[in-house]
């Protein structure tokens, strides 16, 4: 079974030859930048560098996946937002003042897919598809309309609309969902086998009913528009909304270590597969190898389909602890 077959079968809940280990977000670390010779911030707008750094997830860590989109800003940058592209130890970030104040200002440019931040990701996917063919799973990534609204309107400006102007909030989501479709379909055409949809309506900021009332219909619509397996990613506490997430139609959910894997599996009840949820800030960052092994075994025993880091990893952690996830998973088989 190839790594690609293993990962895609895992997303469908099928029998595997060994546990699948995958990365739906980012495994970029400073030491992987050094070994590949491809570093932040240059790789965010250099397709060859992006592809080579992403390939370290398979070549050096032993994962079943390669995921070339590291940051959270490519779509916002292409739409015209001000960006701090960071450095090799800091992720890029969107800068205030924010780009939009009204939903009617949101217009996808005719050349959106040709703008450098977007073209870089698409070209990186094409490069990786040419090099790895159908051997390794290529994971594309798009940001959903809730997270894009944070980037383009500002978190506080957007969230206050939940109570103050829900109609305006829905109009924002309706326009921004088109960005995810355009970019997602282009990545699929370029060779992506599946997509991570990152859309951070987390329990640390909003009630579960907010997901149900505002974002669930959008996610159901997005699932119908994107013809590939989709992995929803939401950071933080999500058990209280997992039942609603299971109604989205998405094939999988990449979840945080703040959520117990057994409880999550019980709530999901086979409606979607779970991906994750090895702890980043404590277990991986601090290099607690026995704890890594324990968390991998716990996740697999609980029924997690693909084990891996819970989110994009800290840039200055050592990649050997990421490799330990793959080693522990293979030993558990």
Query: Quick one: pLDDT band at residue 236, thresholds 50, 70, 90?
Result: very high
Res 12 pLDDT > 90: yes
In this predicted model, what pLDDT tens digit does every residue of 79-92 receive, in sequence order? 999 999 999 999 99
Q: Quick one: how many helices (H) and strands (E) in the chain?
A: 15, 10
Query: Quick one: pLDDT band at residue 333, thresholds 50, 70, 90?
Result: confident
Res 332 pLDDT > 90: no
Distances (CA, A) of 73 to 91, 93, 149, 215: 9, 7, 12, 21
- Across all residues in the chain, what is the average pLDDT? 97
Residue of 231, 221, 246, 147 whose CA lies nearest to 194: 231
Domain total in the chain:
1
Over range 290-294, report the average pLDDT: 98
Print the domain residue range for 89.
3-332
Res 122 pLDDT > 80: yes
Distances (CA, A) of 260 to 254, 255, 274, 297, 307: 13, 10, 11, 13, 14
Q: Which helix (H) or strand (E) holds 172?
A: helix 166-190
Over range 272-276, report the average pLDDT: 97
- Tell me, yes or no, if the pTM score tops 0.95: yes
CATH number at residue 261: 3.20.20.210
CA distance 122 to 106: 22
Can you give the pLDDT at residue 242?
98
Over range 126-144, report the average pLDDT: 98
Long-range contacts, stretch 33-41, CB < 8 angstroms, 24+ apart? 33/88, 35/60, 39/88, 40/70, 40/86, 40/87, 40/88, 40/89, 40/90, 40/91, 40/315, 41/85, 41/86, 41/87, 41/88, 41/92
Query: In this structure, what DSSP letter does residue 248 have?
Result: S
């Amino acid at each position: 079974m190839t790594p690609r077959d293993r990962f895609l079968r895992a997303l469908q809940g099928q029998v595997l030859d060994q546990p699948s280990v995958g990365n739906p977000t980012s495994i970029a670390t400073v030491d992987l930048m050094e070994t590949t010779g491809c570093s932040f911030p240059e790789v965010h707008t250099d397709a060859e560098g992006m592809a080579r750094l992403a390939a370290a997830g398979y070549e050096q860590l032993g994962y079943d996946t390669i995921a070339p989109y590291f940051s959270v800003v490519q779509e916002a940058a292409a739409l015209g937002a001000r960006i701090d592209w960071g450095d090799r130890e800091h992720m890029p970030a969107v800068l205030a003042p924010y780009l939009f104040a009204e939903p009617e200002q949101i217009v996808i440019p005719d050349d959106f897919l040709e703008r450098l931040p977007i073209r870089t990701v698409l070209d990186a996917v094409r490069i990786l598809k040419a090099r790895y063919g159908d051997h390794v799973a290529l994971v594309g990534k798009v940001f959903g309309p809730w997270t894009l609204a944070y980037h383009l309107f500002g978190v506080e400006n957007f969230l206050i609309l939940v109570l103050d102007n829900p109609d305006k909030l829905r109009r924002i989501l309706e326009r921004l969902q088109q960005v995810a479709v355009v970019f997602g379909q282009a990545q699929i055409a370029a060779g992506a086998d599946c997509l991570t949809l990152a859309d951070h309506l987390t329990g640390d900021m909003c009630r579960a009913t907010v997901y149900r009332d505002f974002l669930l219909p959008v996610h159901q619509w997005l699932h119908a528009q994107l013809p590939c397996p989709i992995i929803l990613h939401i950071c933080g506490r999500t058990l209280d909304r997992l039942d609603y997430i299971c109604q989205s139609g998405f094939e999988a959910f990449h979840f945080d270590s703040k959520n117990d894997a057994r409880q999550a599996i019980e709530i999901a009840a086979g409606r979607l597969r779970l991906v994750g949820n090895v702890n980043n800030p404590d277990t991986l960052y601090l290099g607690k190898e026995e704890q890594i092994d324990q968390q991998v075994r716990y996740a697999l025993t609980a029924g997690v389909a693909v084990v891996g880091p819970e989110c994009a990893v800290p840039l200055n952690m050592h990649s050997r602890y990421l490799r330990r996830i793959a080693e522990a998973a293979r030993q558990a088989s």
